[in-house]
Structure 1
Amino acid sequence: MAEPERPVPAGDSPLRSLWTYTRGHRRAVLWASACSVLNKVFDLAPPFLIGMAVDVVVRREGSLIGEWFGVHDLMAQLWLLAGLNVVIWGAESVFEYLYQVAWRNLAQTIQHEARLDGYAHVQELELAYFEDRSTGGLLAILNDDINQLERFLDHGANSMLQLGTTVLAVGATFFIVAPDVATLAVLPVPVILWGSFRYQRSLEPRYAAVRERVSELNTALANNLAGITTIKAFTAEAREVERLDGVSRRYVEANAEAIRLSSAFVPMIRMAILVGFGATLVLGGHKVFANELEVGSYSLLVFLTQRLLWPLTRLGETFDQYQRAMASTRRVLGLLRTPAAIVSGPERLPAVRGELHFDGVDFAYGDARERGPMVLTKLELRVPATQTHAVVGSTGSGKSTLVKLLLRLYDPTEGAVRLDGVDLRELALEDLRGSIGLVSQDVYLFSGTIYENIAYGRPGAARAEVLDAARLADVDSFAARLPKGYDTLVGERGQKLSGGQRQRISIARAILRDPALLVLDEATSAVDNETEAAIQRSLAEVSRGRSTLVIAHRLSTVRHAHCIHVLDGGHIVEQGRHEELLALDGIYARLWRVQTGEREAA
């Protein structure tokens, strides 16, 4: 899958990075924000109506509404207020509906795109990235962290906008109606905001720690569920519950630290609110007694003080949501910023002959800062087009590393791997991997039917082609006996099937691909001798006319290869046909005697 087109910003501010990432949705963000602001504006209007109603009762025909609208009949003034009330409440309800729809749809869209971009980018990363990280940790980012971001966009963003609107609108009204009262009434606001930002900075590292504990917990659960058979076999259920208890407790402790800090926020704000509300009651009342403030205006200020200050008690909850979301945003965008070490080359190969050459290849796992011991050293190996070559050797000799280099899951430390004379680093990955059919010893089947797993090798293949590939791989011998045949579900990772059955499905999948280069990495390691013989006959037919590289531990599977290469110590020490290698009486001959049960000389 191609890299996402949406920008992946760099920088330390997660909110700014999120704004840059959602550049394609700016219009939707502005519309949702406008609806939130207008909803809050109409929500703040009822205290003004209450003040006007009090003004009508106190000043009667000389009320403010009478002066504004030229209506002096008292009942007409009340009916006018009732009509304004209907308009205001109706508008508030409309904009509440609009902002909820806008923010929720935006949250779902961004959640979908972030998860898709994250998964697409993860697929582009080199194999070494996955070897250094846990599956549970990646799942925590792609699921839990993105869901946390969605919850903030669904609720938190609207809360922050409406709180800001409230502070500005009510503060402006106070300074217009009674500037001296306003000074004391809004005095707590800077204190509250200062405290909020201080809490925000204190909460940020704590919520980052919570996200890390979530990753650890997901990793532990994923590992245990994957290894449930081993846990049961070693009666380790109690031990694993105890171990999970420790991981879960660390998550609880990380959350508890954040909770202790965030819970102290609201009581602190209540004390500050008490100052502002008390100032409005006392100083405003004094001005009414001195005939310096109308009763209606006093009523308006009292109600607005409550509308201004009490919502600030939810500021802690809002910042709590914000910090959780920003910690998750930092992790999601951090994943998207991870550079891919293996990138596609520019050169295309429309027609692949299948000539393979490992040209002076050195390779060691790890990066330049922390490289492990050399696995391959000055390796020279040629596979002419349409020939079958085998690589054999003892465990740990580097056989499977050849497959990883060929698929460009890794790049050589030195030297080059060439296909049809072209360095793999110059080839488009789509052309390279599309020309290879891999049958690995570690068979992975997707949750689905037998037919779907075979057809995965070439989407769009005709059913007859899929069934032909299945017959060549001897899948038909067991699929025909199943009640649902090829429509039988294989279960997660193919757990409903035996190892040999999974292996044959994998071979059928590779055969269906019709590759120019067939790679068999211990392809018959999980089958019995009879099945192996049947598969070998099929592979001999399939290999005709195409290049085949066989990585094998069982020497019986490669005795008819055009050339057998013996790998030892990271380089080729012997090569030739089966009979020639036996005549050399070297490593290959010794391995042959061990596998065929012949007595080894003392």
Structure 2
Amino acid sequence: MSTTTPVRYLLHRFARRRSRQFVGGTVLVLLALAFQRVPALVIGVALDSLLLESQAFTLPLVPDAWIPTDTAGQATLVVASLVVAVGGESLCRWYGVLVYERANLETLHDIRTAAFETATALPLSAHRAEDRDLLSVLNDDVDNLEDLFDGGRAAVQYGGELVTAFAFMLLLNWNLAVVMALLPIVVAITARYYAGLLEPRYDAVRANVGRLNARLRDAIEGIRTVKSLVREGREAERVGHASGEYKAAAWSALKLRAIYNRVSWLLAVAGVWFLFGVGSYWILTGTPAVFTQSLTAGTLLTFIMYTFSLMDPTRKLAVEVLDKIESGQASSRRVVPLLRHDAAAARKDDVPPLSVTDGGVEYDAVSFDYGEGDGNEDGDDESTLTDVSLTAAPGDFVGIVGHSGAGKSTLVKLLLRFQEPDAGEIRVDGQPVADHSVRSLRQHVGYVGQDPFLFPGTVHENVAYARPDATRDDVVDAAKRASAHEFVAELPEGYDTEVGERGTTLSGGQRQRLAIARALLSDPEVLVFDEATSHVDTETEAEIQRTLRTVAADRTVFAVAHRLSTVRQADRIVVLDDGRVTERGTHAELVEQDGRYAGLWAVQTGAVAAAVETSTDAAETEVRG
């Protein structure tokens, strides 16, 4: 569906399915407003007929045969009408608001969950540090959409009050009703002008809320860096600056609202004064020449009561409702682009799932470039790939090495479709991964990153995250294969030990081994280790190397490694340099070639250091000689 406004998009996609509840609640509220108009009408009639005895007792739209002829009966009818009106209004308003608000909450729930699902489907480039405003959209702006729906309900209510009040005025004295219609028109014109001034102010408020939240989040998440560099004052200044910009934007909107609130209130008071003056003149001097209907004191009293039902709702429409709607629209302009994001297309049901049995992987002339100023989430702007081709047969253990920025991590992330290649094709078991659903691909490819994320909860819950139905034995077996069981057994509660926020109670190596256990538990046909041994000690690395050799026996393994010892036993090692494959072969073959890999191996094994030391000793001997 093509829509022109974010609000129309939200209504069509989410609110339309509950249109019956919204309409039903609205009808009940409007019926309550009709009951609300009855007391003023009945009191005005009673004043003229029962107290002043200036005219016969009649009620608009009520047949004369239904009206008692005696004063006592008429007084009883007045009281009964008031009771029925108050009871009918209370019942209809209570149930109508209940029906409407339930539909409102359910609609907001659908928007919130849809926004989150879309956010999780976005490519990693949308989750970069500079785009952390996404969390503000999911938290603040989705919640703030409640103002939009509340404003819609209030608009119906206050608009209904205007319509029903004016309709009753027409029944009583259409001449005076036409005169009074000028007042809400004046208020509506000023409200339109007010709305035009308010809209950009609320856009600025929502944008500044997002920037302030992002600044606060960055300062808190990076608190260790902040403290270690003694930059608390600097961060306080930056947060203070962001808060000041939000304060200025909010104050601008608040001042405008306060000014218009006073203006609209003065217009309402002026309207009542105007009505009283015109009505009094009408009663005392007779019907003006331009009109045809007479006016009584009771009718004037009813009109004065109805005037508040004209002016007060008009003021609220201008001040409260417009505020809510403008605030909600500002949030909708931030939420809807997320919901419309093209990445959601990857979740379409018409994309076939990937079926993997062996786990063979092929890169066919794959090229990729993050683009200028669009680096990856690790801040590596140079990780591009150019015409990369390689094949991993089922069960192969492939090591990927190279200097920092050579494109190692980018290569394996393309396999998981964290990014899409600019050219070329990646196939698993001969099937182009781009032609199949992302979810099914990732069910067959396990991933262990350099900085593993652990959720608040127990060790068991974190390992079993990959397979919620896993038994304790399954979790323990995966932990053993990942060389994690020994340290887990020594924890206070074993597998029931809480790991803390982001696993802060564990060391980096322990978190890494639990992440490996989590990947092994899902039992994928392809396993990707992206610098997975970078945070473990030498002894643990040796254990994980043995694990890699074990799991590689019945599945395909890609291991991105900075430590070459991690991939020394790989079936094939691929060397990347500036995004291109420059060497490939076994460890022994590459060392014998005496190329890039051999140089890296010499550095890491200390051969260069030894050579430098020998050269230095020789130079010192020569100097002494």
Same fold by TM-score greater than 0.5: yes
C-alpha distance after superposition, 1:183-221 (max 9, x if no partner) = 332212111111112211221121111110011011011
Give the SS at the match of 1:599.
helix
Amino acid of the residue matched to residue 438 of structure 2?
L
* Partner residue, 2:322: 319
- Which residue in the other structure is 2:310 paired with? 308
Per mean C-alpha deviation after superposition, the further-off stretch among 55-64 and 376-385 is 55-64
Residues 1:332 and 2:324 are matched in the alignment? no
* Contact 1:473 1:535 survives alignment (8 Å): yes
Aligned-pair CA distance for 1:486: 0.8
- CA contact under 8 A between 2:118 and 2:344: conserved in structure 1? no
User: d(CA) in 2 for partners of 1:319 and 1:346?
Assistant: 43
1:298 and 2:291 matched: no
Asked if structure 2 preserves the Cα contact closer than 8 Å seen for 1:61 and 1:72, the reply is no
Preserved contact between residue 382 and residue 405 of structure 2 (Cα < 8 Å)? no
Alignment partner, residue 157 of structure 2? 162
Give yes or no for contact 2:39–2:82 (8 Å, CA) kept in 1: yes
Q: Which residue of 1 aligns with 2:209?
A: 214
Pair 1:543-2:555 in alignment: no
Question: Which residue does 1:264 correspond to in 2?
Answer: 259
Matches of 1:251 and 1:368, distance apart in 2: 27
Please tell me the residue identity of whatever aligns with 1:203. Answer: L
What's the CA shift for 1:20? 1.2
Take 1:479 and 1:41, find their aligned partners in 2: how far apart are those partners?
A: 70
Give the unaligned 5+ runs of structure 2: 287-293, 613-625
Q: 1:143 aligns with which of 132, 139, 142?
A: 139
- Quick one: distance in 1 between partners of 2:252 and 2:164? 36
Q: Is the 8 A contact 1:210 1:255 kept in 2?
A: yes
**CA deviation string 1:368-416 (max 9, x = no partner):** 9999767211112111111111111111111000111110111211111
Of the structure 1 ranges 26-35 and 363-372, higher mean CA displacement relative to structure 2 is found in: 363-372
Aligned to 1:116: 113
Alignment partner, residue 532 of structure 2: 523
Aligned counterpart in structure 2 of residue 70 of structure 1, from 49, 56, 67: 67
Q: Which residue of 1 aligns with 2:219?
A: 224
1:575 to 572, 584, 587: 584
Residues 250-308 of structure 1 deviation map (CA, whole Å, 9 limit, x = unaligned)? 00111111122222212222333344322321222233234622232222112111222
CA distance in 1, matches of 2:327, 2:103: 19
Determine whether 1:34 maps to 2:27.
yes
Q: How do 1:50-129 and structure 2 match up within 5 A?
A: 50-55=43-48, 56-59=50-53, 62-64=56-58, 67=64, 69-129=66-126
Paired letter, 1:294: T
**Alignment RMSD:** 2.3
Counterpart check, 1:279 vs 2:310: no
Q: Is the 8 A contact 1:192 1:272 kept in 2?
A: yes
Amino acid at match of 1:54: L
Q: Is the 1:184–1:276 contact (alpha carbons within 8 Å) kept by the matching residues of 2?
A: no
CA distance in 2, matches of 1:425, 1:311: 56
2:295 alignment partner AA: L
Q: Deviations over 1:61-106 (max 9, x none)?
A: 9322594633122222112211111111111111221133123212
* Aligned partners of 2:44 and 2:302 also within 8 Å: yes
Q: Secondary structure at the match of 2:398?
A: strand
Instruction: Report the residue type matching 1:326 in the other structure.
Output: Q
Q: Aligned letter for 2:5?
A: S
- 1:481-500 to 2 correspondences below 5 Å: 481-500=490-509
Structure 1 position 558, deviation (Å): 1.0
Aligned residue number for residue 187 of structure 1: 182
Within 2, Cα distance between the matches of 1:421 and 1:375?
Answer: 25
User: Aligned in 2, Cα 1:95/1:44: closer, same or farther, shift over 3 Å?
Assistant: same
The CA distance in 1 between the partners of 2:505 and 2:374, in whole Å, is 43
Contact 1:380 1:571 in 2 (8 A): no
Identity %: 36
CA shift, 1:595, in A, is 0.7
Asked if structure 1 preserves the Cα contact closer than 8 Å seen for 2:393 and 2:556, the reply is yes
Paired residue type of 2:327: R
Distance 1:429 1:558, change over 3 A: same
SS in 2 for 1:63: coil
Rounded Cα–Cα distance in structure 2 between residues aligned with 1:131 and 1:515: 28
Find the aligned partners of 1:342 and 1:566 in 2 and give their Cα distance: 35
Q: Provide the residue aligned with 1:430 in structure 2.
A: 439
* CA offset digits 1:391-445 (Å, max 9, x no partner): 1111111100011111011121111112122222122323321111111112111
Distance 2:593 2:7 in 1: 69
Residue identity in the other structure for 2:160: T
Q: For residues 230 and 141 of structure 1, what CA distance do their matches in structure 2 show?
A: 27
Q: 1:496 to 1:373 in 2, by over 3 A?
A: closer
Decide whether the 8 Å contact of 1:473 with 1:507 is kept in 2.
yes
More deviation in 348-357 or 105-114?
348-357
- Distance change in 2, residues 1:76/1:347 (3 Å): closer
TM-score when scaled to structure 2? 0.90
The answer as to whether partners of 1:62 and 1:72 remain within 8 angstroms in 2 is: no
Q: Could you say what secondary structure the match of 1:334 adopts?
A: helix
Q: Look up the equivalent residue of 2:606 and give its one-letter code.
A: G
Partner of 2:291: none
Larger deviation, residues 544-553 vs 165-174:
165-174
- Give CA-to-partner distance per residue, 1:444-492, whole Å, 9 cap, x none: 1112111011011222122211110011112211111112111111122
What is residue 43 of structure 1 aligned with on the other side?
36
- Asked whether the equivalents of residues 427 and 433 of structure 2 are also in contact (C-alpha less than 8 Å), the reply is yes
Query: Does 1:593 pair with 2:602?
Result: yes
Is the contact between residue 187 and residue 315 of structure 2 (CA under 8 Å) also seen in structure 1? no
- C-alpha displacement of 1:365: 0.6
Equivalent residue for 1:3? Answer: none
Question: Could you tell me how far apart the structure 2 residues matched to 1:178 and 1:341 are?
Answer: 59
Q: TM-score, normalised by structure 1?
A: 0.93
Cα 1:374–1:557 shift into 2, 3 Å: closer
Residues 7-22 of structure 1 mapped to structure 2, 5 A cutoff: 10-21=2-13, 22=15
Query: Are the counterparts in 1 of residues 21 and 103 from structure 2 also a CA contact under 8 Å?
Result: yes
Specify the alignment match of 1:505 in structure 2: 514
Quick one: distance in 1 between partners of 2:436 and 2:274? 75
Would you say the 8 A contact 2:398–2:559 is kept in 1?
Answer: yes
CA distance in structure 2 between the partners assigned to 1:302 and 1:342 by the alignment: 58
Please say if residues 354 and 433 of structure 2, whose CA atoms lie closer than 8 Å, have aligned partners that are also in contact: no
The equivalent of 1:471 in structure 2 is 480
Deviations 1:30-55 (A, max 9, x none): 01211221222222222112112212
Match of 1:365 among 351, 367, 370: 370
Structure 1 residue runs without a partner (length 5+): 1-8
Q: Is the 8 A contact 2:158 2:316 kept in 1?
A: no
Confirm or deny: 8 A CA contact 1:110 1:150 kept in the other structure.
Answer: no
Write the distance in 2 (CA, Å) between the matches of 1:263 and 1:517.
63
Deviations 1:532-583 (A, max 9, x none): 1122222222221211111111011111111111111211111111111111
Relative to structure 1, the CA distance from residue 472 to residue 436 in structure 2 (aligned partners, 3 Å threshold; closer, same or farther) is same
How far apart, CA to CA, are the structure 1 residues paired with 2:374 and 2:345? Answer: 17
Structure 2 counterpart of 1:6: none
Q: 2 CA distance for matches of 1:442 and 1:374?
A: 18
User: Structure 1 residues 239, 589: closer, same or farther in 2, change over 3 A?
Assistant: same
Summarize the alignment of residues 394-409 of structure 1 with structure 2, pairs less than 5 Å apart.
394-409=403-418
